[in-house]
Structure 1
Amino acid sequence: MKNTATLELRGISKTYGNGRQVLSDLSYTLAAGEYVAIMGDSGVGKSTLLNLIAGLDAPDTGEIWVDGIALSANDDDAATRLRRRHFGFIFQAFHVLPHLTLLQNVSLPLLLNHLPLDRAETMLTAVGLKGREQDFPRQLSGGELQRVAIARALVHRPRLILADEPTGNLDPDTAQEILQLMRAEIKANGAAGIIVTHSQAAAATADRILLLTKAGLQPLEGGSNA
């Protein structure tokens, strides 16, 4: 993949049914290999923004482009294929499938994209779950489930990684290990990554920290360029 803009937000606005506007004329460009953290007060629209980028909701105005393709130009099937192949999601609710083993859960993106399955075991090892491949989600703690969700989001080397509070259930040491893994995957695969977080320590692992306010995305100091 050439090193061009992976994500472009062009004049994005979103208002809820009760009339409360959370995003107004928001524009931003994220290039391949870039990793940013978005912070902001509760209710300002951070999770809404991730859902819009993921194509799980649609903006009232504006357009979202991924790898030069407008999301609005895709029909449902094309949008599903785009998300399946090029997106990696880490959401607070985990969405780990209870009837599948950990290995089967992490293998799903590989199966859906007709990719070799050996990387699933590698990613479980990378998130500290080696030897738990045949366990079921009911046997795991909240922090362990979060690590499964992270392994699944990264396993197929997506072009765009979207993470909503990905370390909320992890102890500080494990959180740092997971965040460094995410950063390494983004850099190694020429992906782009967005993490939404309230944690200063988590945000500090990103290249840049952005504050989401009613005025849009404003840069903050404190990111890492290591």
Structure 2
Amino acid sequence: MLELRHIGKAYANGLRVLTDLSYTFGAGEYVAIMGESGVGKSTLLNLIAGLDTPDAGEILIDGIAMSSLDDDAATRLRRKAFGFVFQAFHILPHLTLGQNIALPLLLNGISGERGQERAGQMLDAVGLHGRGQHFPRELSGGEMQRVAIARALVHRPKLILADEPTGNLDPDTAHDILMLMRAEIKANGASAIIVTHSHAAAATADRVLILTKDGLHPADSADSHQSR
């Protein structure tokens, strides 16, 4: 599904965060990425999402190099196949919660009763039943995060990318949301990558990887890489 080939990336100030990073994620895998702050976890997620471009290397989705796609083709791929959960939520303030959640459906040509029904299902699933006509300004941070997760899952994407998806949630709500994400991922045969500092969140994944300066490593072998 997703292959990283010799990825390199530096920040604008010249600080290099990713160097010659290669890894292959299997189709249908749910993977958690952990690591120290500043090691490049969110940067890596943005590169995979196509929101930033690597300085070196190649990212392939189903064997297709992202760099080979023009802007329109890349946009169509992201709309149809990707679901995003950002740390900053990016909920549109002028749209209701129902409209925010339904937006990926609308962009993929699904509207009317079918779109409303699916958006309503996801609103219920994240514990916001009956609040479809409310606006983001009426929500707490944790509620906005739940809307962002519902929006990321609503169109049944094949690749879900989530940056600290439970960062603003209390432990009980976080557990419920993670179980919802896992159920949707498995039901739709999707792949998912979450970046998290939470060991509880990481424990819901099929695999946990640690990002270090030496690359991505299984959690049980990361200590040996970090001590080199």
Same fold (TM over 0.5): yes
Segments of 5+ residues of structure 1 without an aligned counterpart are 1-5, 222-226
Instruction: Output one character per residue of 1:9-62: Cα deviation in whole Å (capped at 9) or x when no partner.
Output: 111111123221100111111122100100001100000000000001111111
How far is the alpha carbon of 1:102 from its aligned partner?
0.5
Describe the SS at the equivalent of 1:130. Answer: coil
Describe the SS at the equivalent of 1:84. Answer: helix
Corresponding residue number in structure 1 for 2:200: 201
Corresponding residue number in structure 2 for 1:124: 123
Aligned Cα root-mean-square deviation (Å): 0.8
Q: How many residues align?
A: 216
Instruction: Output one character per residue of 1:52-81: Cα deviation in whole Å (capped at 9) or x when no partner.
Output: 000011111111011221100111111111
Corresponding residue number in structure 2 for 1:59: 54
- Cα distance in 2 between the residues matched to 1:184 and 1:69: 28
- Cα distance in 2 between the residues matched to 1:201 and 1:133: 30
1:81-100 equivalences in 2 (<5 Å):
81-100=76-95
Corresponding residue number in structure 1 for 2:11: 16
Describe the SS at the equivalent of 1:175. Answer: helix
Corresponding residue number in structure 1 for 2:186: 187
Describe the SS at the equivalent of 1:79. Answer: helix
Counterpart of 1:52, as a letter, is: L
How far is the alpha carbon of 1:163 from its aligned partner?
0.3
Q: Which moved more, 1:84-93 or 1:110-119?
A: 110-119
Corresponding residue number in structure 1 for 2:167: 168
TM-score w.r.t. length of structure 1? 0.94
Q: Which moved more, 1:115-124 or 1:141-150?
A: 115-124
Which structure shows the bigger proportion of residues in helix conformation?
2
Counterpart of 2:131, as a letter, is: R
Describe the SS at the equivalent of 1:121. Answer: helix
- Cα distance in 2 between the residues matched to 1:52 and 1:22: 12
- Cα distance in 1 between the residues matched to 2:14 and 2:136: 39
- Cα distance in 1 between the residues matched to 2:86 and 2:36: 18
TM-score w.r.t. length of structure 2? 0.93
Work out which of the residue numbers 2, 26, 51 in structure 2 matches 1:7: 2
- Cα distance in 1 between the residues matched to 2:62 and 2:78: 12
Counterpart of 1:200, as a letter, is: H
Describe the SS at the equivalent of 2:121. Answer: helix
Counterpart of 1:55, as a letter, is: G
- Cα distance in 2 between the residues matched to 1:24 and 1:182: 31
Q: Are residue 101 (structure 1) and residue 96 (structure 2) matched? A: yes
- Cα distance in 1 between the residues matched to 2:155 and 2:182: 15
Instruction: Output one character per residue of 1:152-201: Cα deviation in whole Å (capped at 9) or x when no partner.
Output: 00000001100000100000000011011111111111111000000111
